[in-house]
Structures are given as structure tokens and as C-alpha cells.
């Protein structure tokens, strides 16, 4: 059978793929969105909370609003981060405030399932062809197109042809490997432990983060009401210990680690874990291929910027293709190189900052501890420097 033909095929229906699909369709391109797993909206359950949450920057929120997704988020499941306090491992404190930055919020905390439920309707409304539950089994490149073959079950195969294939299928991207872009994520030797807790004291929209003497990083993120979500980026042995605790024991451990600033915690969700790694690629574009999101880069979550970098990729690629002018082929090298250049600097900057902080706060040497804490305290006294550091993350 002849393949179905599209301008763009997006392989991977995570948050970034779901955002990119309608953005490209709005740019006048025919788009297919495919994934190994079924592409469905999660069932809303007001009585429960998703353990995985994201800190959505103002820039990402503006992009999501432009494609109609932000408006679909239930307001009672979105929490503004109005201030942030970063504590060093020897008492230094660095504070940020949305007011000082001239922003309504430094970020908004949103559950993963809420974002998926808000994004998916826009995909269908934009006329995107949606194919879920179809593993990728072949990817062949030709001069004027690429052909992605899907397993439809049993002996059935389906082939999609596109002038551009976008790999949005995660840090261990199958598409990236099929294109011969070889790079293994470099493990940090850390695992992120995430969970949600109820607390008796109000968080007042303040996010808190501790660089701890054991080399771990603990973040408390505000949720609606008197609840918080935590991300504890811990050495693998400590993460295994935390994950093995009962929900009540973990709640006590997390509360103690933060000096019980919000009182005694009560578990809302059990813990979930995921390994942490840095991913730097030699290239994010190739012949009729562009990579976005975690398929294109991996960063440590201590700055909460992973998904924002991915949304930045989606915005940049959609803008480049929308501004293509007389160039009708979305897979032409001119456009792909323009996308790669536009994303190279912000991605490299975020990777450099996050990787540098992990390395700076990892070693326990007393002299280094004094130096890094002095640096935190010095930055806190320099408003212009704080603003210069904050603005790229906000945007």
C-alpha cells in the first residue's frame, strides 16, 4: 500500500509533542502525531493528585495560551510560584520574588495529567492525524521524504511519509537512534524522588530548595491549598532508601529535611522515582529530521526547566516553519539549521548552569562549601545580577 503522506510526522506524544502538533497545524502544515502508547486524555479525578508536576515558566505559559491549552487548565489545579528561596548547605540564602521581576508569578505548578488533558483537545481541533498504540518499527530516509513504519498489531504495518520527521520520543529516543545521532545520556548517579504531601501551615506560594550536605537537592513546590509537591534529587543509594520508606515515614523525613517549616506532613501520593542524566547531542537536526524536548537534550531538574526547554523547542520550530515564506518544504536544510541555531544558545546555557550547580554543590570539601555559599549570598545582594540570571528562565 502507498504510505499516507504528511508535511510533518511527530513521533512521540508527550507534552512537547502534544504542544507542537497544533502549533504546526496552525502554520498551514499537514501533521500526524504518533506514539507507541495510546494517545488519550487521562481521566480527571478531583479527589486525587498526580505525583508528577511541572513548573511552567511565564514564557511557556504564553506559548500554551497561544495554542489554546492554558485556557483549558482548571484554575483550582494551578498554583503560582510567587517567590523562591534557595538555601545553601552552609546557611547561605538566595531569594527571588515575582514582584521584583515584574511578573505575576515566577512559574506555575501544574500536574502532568492536567497538562495532557488541556493539550489533547487542541490536537484534534487542529485536524492533526492521531495514531496511538503503534510501536515504531522502521524509519527510512529518501532525498525528498522520510518514511516511518508503524506496527499496527499482528502482521499489519502502516507507513507514514513526511517531508520532516520530528523526534519527540524522550531521552532514549528511538527516532534519534534510527537517524544515527548517537549519544548516551550521562548518569548523574542521582535519582529524583517525587511525592505530594499535605501540610498544616500555608506555603504562601513560596517554592523552597535546599542544597544539602549529602550532595542531594530537595525542592518543595506549592500546590493548591495546603499541599506541596517535592522533588528530592538524591544519590542513588539515598533515593533507594527514601523510596523504601512507608508514606508516613517519608513524610516525616521530608518535613525534617526542611526544618518542619510547614509543620508535620501527611502523605497525599506515594513516591515515584526516575533516574537523572545529562544529555548533550552533537546535532539536533539531520536530513529531514528535527529533535525536540528530551530527545534533543537532558538537564538536571534542580532548576525545573526540562519541560520549559521542550516547549521552547516546540515554539521555535513552529515559528521557523510558520515564517518559511516561499520555502514550501518544511524539511529543507535552511529551515532546520535556522531552528538548530535558534535553540543552541538557550539549551547550552541551561545545561551549563544546571550541570555546574550539581558539580559545585556535590563535593563535601569544607573550603568549597564556604566558597559556594559565599557566592549564593553575594548574588542575593545584587538585584541586577539576580534579574539577569532569572530572565532567561522566565522567558
**Domain of 350: which CATH number?**
3.50.50.60
What pLDDT score was predicted for residue 367? Answer: 62
The answer to whether position 256 is within a domain reads no
pLDDT band of 195, cuts 50, 70, 90: very high
Beta-carbon contacts of residue 158 (< 8 Å; ≥ 6 apart): 4, 131, 134, 149, 150, 152
Q: Which comes out higher in pLDDT, residue 391 or 50?
A: 50
The answer to whether position 164 is within a domain reads yes
Report residue 205 CA to chain centroid gap.
Answer: 21
The answer to whether position 203 is within a domain reads no
Nearest CA among 195, 198, 199, 197 for reference residue 243: 195
Kindly report, residue by residue over 79-131, the tens digit of the pLDDT. Answer: 999 999 998 877 788 888 998 888 899 999 999 999 999 999 999 999 999 99
What pLDDT score was predicted for residue 386? Answer: 65
Query: By residue range, what is the domain housing residue 137?
Result: 4-42+49-185+279-394
Average pLDDT over residues 202-226: 94
The answer to whether position 201 is within a domain reads no
Average pLDDT taken over every residue of the chain: 92
d(Cα 354, Cα 277) in Å, to the nearest integer?
11
172 φ, ψ to 5°?
Answer: -105, 55
Position 315 pLDDT exceeds 80: yes
**Entry pTM:** 0.93
What pLDDT score was predicted for residue 316? Answer: 98
Question: What is the number of domains present in the chain?
Answer: 1
pLDDT band of 5, cuts 50, 70, 90: very high
The answer to whether position 200 is within a domain reads no
Position 363 pLDDT exceeds 70: no
The answer to whether position 194 is within a domain reads no
What pLDDT score was predicted for residue 357? Answer: 81
What pLDDT score was predicted for residue 389? Answer: 67
Beta-carbon contacts of residue 265 (< 8 Å; ≥ 6 apart): 197, 198, 199, 228, 251, 252, 254, 255
The answer to whether position 112 is within a domain reads yes
Average pLDDT over residues 354-374: 75
Average pLDDT over residues 18-28: 97
What pLDDT score was predicted for residue 167? Answer: 98
What pLDDT score was predicted for residue 317? Answer: 98
Exposure string over 143-173, b if 16+ CB within 10 A, otherwise e: eebbbbbbbeeeeeebbbbbbbbbbbbbbeb
The answer to whether position 368 is within a domain reads yes
Amino acid at each position: 500500500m502507498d504510505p499516507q503522506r504528511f508535511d510533518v510526522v511527530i513521533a512521540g506524544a508527550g507534552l512537547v509533542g502534544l504542544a507542537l502538533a497544533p502549533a504546526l497545524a496552525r502554520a498551514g502544515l499537514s501533521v500526524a502525531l504518533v506514539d507507541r502508547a495510546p494517545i488519550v486524555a487521562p481521566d480527571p479525578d478531583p479527589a486525587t493528585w498526580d505525583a508528577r508536576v511541572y513548573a511552567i515558566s511565564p514564557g511557556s505559559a504564553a506559548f500554551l495560551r497561544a495554542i489554546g491549552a492554558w485556557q483549558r487548565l482548571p484554575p483550582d489545579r494551578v498554583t503560582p510560584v510567587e517567590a523562591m528561596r534557595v538555601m545553601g548547605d552552609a546557611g547561605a540564602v538566595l531569594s527571588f520574588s515575582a514582584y521584583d521581576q515584574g511578573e505575576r508569578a515566577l512559574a506555575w505548578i501544574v500536574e502532568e495529567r492536567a497538562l495532557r488533558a488541556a493539550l489533547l483537545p487542541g490536537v484534534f481541533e487542529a485536524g492533526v492525524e492521531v495514531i496511538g498504540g503503534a510501536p515504531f518499527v522502521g524509519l527510512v530516509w529518501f532525498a525528498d521524504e522520510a518514511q516511518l513504519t508503524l506496527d499496527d498489531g499482528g502482521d499489519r504495518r502502516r507507513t507514514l511519509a513526511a517531508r520532516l520527521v520530528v523526534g519527540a520520543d524522550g531521552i532514549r529516543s528511538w527516532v534519534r537512534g534510527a537517524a544515527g545521532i548517537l549519544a548516551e545520556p550521562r548518569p548523574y548517579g542521582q535519582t529524583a524522588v517525587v511525592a505530594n504531601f499535605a501540610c498544616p501551615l500555608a506555603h504562601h506560594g513560596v517554592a523552597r530548595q535546599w542544597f544539602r550536605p549529602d550532595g542531594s537537592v530537595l525542592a518543595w513546590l506549592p500546590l493548591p491549598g495546603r499541599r506541596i509537591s517535592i522533588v528530592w534529587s538524591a544519590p542513588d543509594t539515598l533515593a533507594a532508601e527514601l523510596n523504601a520508606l512507608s508514606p508516613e515515614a517519608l513524610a516525616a523525613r521530608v518535613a525534617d529535611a526542611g526544618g518542619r517549616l510547614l509543620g508535620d506532613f501527611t502523605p497525599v501520593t506515594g513516591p515515584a522515582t526516575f533516574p537523572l542524566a545529562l544529555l548533550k547531542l552533537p546535532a539536533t537536526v539531520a536530513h529531514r529530521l528535527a529533535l525536540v524536548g528530551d530527545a534533543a537534550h537532558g538537564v538536571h531538574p534542580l532548576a525545573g526547566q526540562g519541560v520549559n526547554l521542550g516547549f521552547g523547542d516546540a515554539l521555535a520550530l513552529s515559528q521557523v516553519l510558520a515564517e518559511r515564506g516561499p520555502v514550501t518544504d518544511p524539511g529543507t536544510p535552511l529551515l532546520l539549521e535556522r531552528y538548530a541555531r535558534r535553540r543552541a544558545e538557550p539549551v547550552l546555557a541551561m545545561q551549563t548552569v544546571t550541570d555546574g550547580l550539581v558539580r559545585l554543590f556535590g563535593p563535601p570539601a569544607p573550603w568549597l562549601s564556604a566558597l559556594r555559599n559565599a557566592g549564593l549570598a553575594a548574588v542575593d545582594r545584587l538585584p541586577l545580577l539576580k534579574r539577569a540570571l532569572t530572565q532567561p528562565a522566565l522567558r
